[in-house]
Structure 1
Amino acid sequence: MVALRRSRQRRAPARLAERRDERTDRHAGRPDAVFALLDVVASAAEQDAAPTVTEAAALLGVDRPRSSRLTAQAIEAGLLRREADQRDGRRSLLVPTPEGRDVLARIRGFRCRVIAVSTAGWSTEDRAALTRLLTRFVRDFEATTTGT
């Protein structure tokens, strides 16, 4: 876990993506946090729960001003758009644009390829065990740390 955390902090996947030209030139200079915001917004939207800027801040674990700045960058980049909440006109929901969904699909595909290469020498049973246990660990870790 420490090695994974350190790798994430060193932005190893981002460096790999840059070397392999996984991001388009248009988005190459964007902060990783913009893509993290896109990821949480898209994940929420996939569950029919488009978040507000405040809700996105909670999902990202950042304060509202930081979430607001990231949202502005994502909107400027054409990755997200604001949409009026049909249940409460005072609320503005964040939803991925078609370009945002395309960029996120490429990022998610890249992540899957990195995992596939990392586990290429593993047996099918070992990969299945990792999937099962890691999913369980993440669920239990989240429950422990959020108190749910």
Structure 2
Amino acid sequence: MHNGDADDKVLKAIEAAMVDIRRRQTRRALARSEPEADPALFDVVDAVEDGEARGAPVTVTDIAAALDVAQPRASKLVAAAVEAGLIRREADQKDGRRALLALTVAGRELCERVHEVRRRRFAAATRNWSKIDRAAFAQLLTRFVDGLTETEPERH
């Protein structure tokens, strides 16, 4: 077997695994971990949490980009998350024309419950792995995601 054939086989295996992950995400298998949470609203909460973790202000435009939806759809999702008490709008002190989004206590509690359930599932999926294998997987998966991010085509 040529090295190119081996590389192609490995890339096909990565592709198959990623397609399976995408299908599971499409079915919202991980989001279903919190039964009372609407998966679409949790996506908004998750995106706000991510922005806060990075120390970045989060706007409806950021939510639209994070969820890959049009601005009107993002606005509706944000309004529903606000109405559900998961996030709140705050005035931007630098630009009074825009509102920043922040998690509420209920939003933070929801995130913690979902993180806990996800991590339990990940622990169960890797329960027979060594600590070294888990650490290597975490490092390689992070590198892989970073590499995908760096090679994303520009959208116009």
CA shift for structure 1 position 14? 3.8
Q: Which residue of 1 aligns with 2:21?
A: 4
- Residue by residue, what CA displacement relative to the aligned partner does 1:67-111 show, whole Å, maximum 9, x if unpaired? 111101100110000000011111111110111011111111111
Give the TM-score, by structure 2 length: 0.82
Quickly say closer, same or farther: Cα 1:74–1:92, change in 2 above 3 A: same
Alignment of 1:55-66 (within 5 A): 55-66=62-73
Find 2:76's aligned residue among 64, 69, 75. 69
| Paired residue type of 2:22 | R
Find 1:82's aligned residue among 89, 105, 130. 89
Alignment of 1:39-118 (within 5 A): 39-118=46-125
| Paired residue type of 1:53 | V
Q: Which residue of 2 aligns with 1:144?
A: 151
SS of structure 2 residue aligned to 1:145 = coil
Q: Which residue of 1 aligns with 2:30?
A: 13
| Paired residue type of 2:27 | R
Distance 1:118 1:131 in 2: 13
Query: Unpaired segments of 5 or more residues in structure 2?
Result: 1-17
Larger Rg: 2
SS of structure 2 residue aligned to 1:87 = coil
Whether the 8 Å contact between 2:48 and 2:102 is mirrored in structure 1 is yes
Whether the 8 Å contact between 2:61 and 2:74 is mirrored in structure 1 is yes
CA shift for structure 1 position 146? 4.7
Quickly say closer, same or farther: Cα 1:146–1:50, change in 2 above 3 A: farther
SS of structure 2 residue aligned to 1:95 = strand
Query: Unpaired segments of 5 or more residues in structure 1?
Result: none
SS of structure 1 residue aligned to 2:30 = helix
| Paired residue type of 1:141 | L
Give the TM-score, by structure 1 length: 0.86
Q: Which residue of 2 aligns with 1:130?
A: 137
Whether the 8 Å contact between 2:31 and 2:114 is mirrored in structure 1 is no
| Paired residue type of 1:3 | D
Q: Which residue of 2 aligns with 1:120?
A: 127
